[in-house]
Chain A
């Protein structure tokens, strides 16, 4: 094999690996965080549930419910205790629960945090989901 052909192969392989890497954001951490929220919620552990929320989401929840976060989070209507699917892109993820909820998360300095939970699709492809809590 000529040196030029080797270079072409290396280039094609490099581009292939790079493209494969581009799609692969690890969604496991997002699944774990979503599951922690739903398990804590079903165990009535408001403090643990609040730990999974992003700062903005926690602030919004307290403002909406006019209660401290550990109480407010237990007033939400969340459905499910396990995750059944996840998709992650760059620093954002969406996780599905076995109760039919969607959960949106973002990667922060402290790992994955929930930005919206108890979400259901709204009519139309472009509409944001209707969520129980939203940042």
Chain B
């Protein structure tokens, strides 16, 4: 048990995620019902709120931006470099690197995953599988945001005796892009500031930081 916890302690974030999502749903339910009471509307049960677009859009608009952030970061760090940043590869290593460096095909060793060894389409797919899955989840959650966002927004519009929007109209609406961009901007800010701050600042023991005594100009070193 002790060893399992040591080897999987980062996965505790999944438990924290479920806890945070649970509390978000409780707070969102309360907030929705408070706003219903303000205009003599009907308060709704917790189960119904969990299945509502109000909860769906609040959850998915954040999911999509997180997965976009990681998908972009995975892709950008293949080619984009930052002198001195532990998030960057060494400055002469931009690009997909050689099969030997990546342990692909005949350069694979006995620990290499099967799809890295076999070559052909399977190895090409596996070589990009992290991006494919992270990017796929981003697109699915963005699609989910657009579907649930339209329903929640049309609820507000009907409350004010305005016409509802069809899906294409909603994709061009300020509500959709405000929800999208307010999440994107914060992700890009966090990525940009992390890349620069990690050149000059340190966290002892973190693989996201360079070793405390490493020079500011050294790139591609973590510890």
Contacts and interface: CB of A to CB of B under 8 A. Distances in A.
Contacts of B53: 22-23, 89-90
A41 interface: no
Given A87-B164, A94-B158, A115-B161, A106 B41 contact: yes
B81 to A, nearest CB: 34
Contacts of B41: 91, 106-108
Contact of B152 (A55, A89, A126): A89
Nearest to A130: B161
B109 interface: no
B3 interface: no
Nearest to A125: B163
B44 interface: yes
Interface stretch (B69-77, B110-118, B140-148): B140-148
Contact of A89 (B39, B140, B155): B155
Interface string A9-30: 0000001001101110100000
Interface in A60-119: 87, 89-94, 104, 106-109, 115-116, 119
Contact of A131 (B148, B152, B158, B161): B161
B158 A128 contact: no
Interface residues of A, number: 33
A3 interface: no
Contact of B162 (A18, A25, A127): A127
A10 B161 CA distance: 39
B129 interface: no
Contact of B154 (A21, A89, A121, A131): A89
Contacts of B169: 125
B158 A89 contact: yes
B42 interface: yes
A23 B51 contact: no
A126 B169 CA distance: 12
B160 interface: yes
B129 to A, nearest CB: 13
Nearest to A129: B161
A91 B155 contact: yes
Contacts of A104: 158, 161
Top 5 nearest A-B pairs (CB, nearest first) are A90-B155, A92-B158, A89-B155, A22-B53, A89-B154
Interface of B: 36, 39-42, 44, 51-54, 56, 140, 144, 147-148, 151-152, 154-156, 158-165, 169
5 contacts: A90-B152, A90-B155, A91-B44, A125-B163, A128-B160
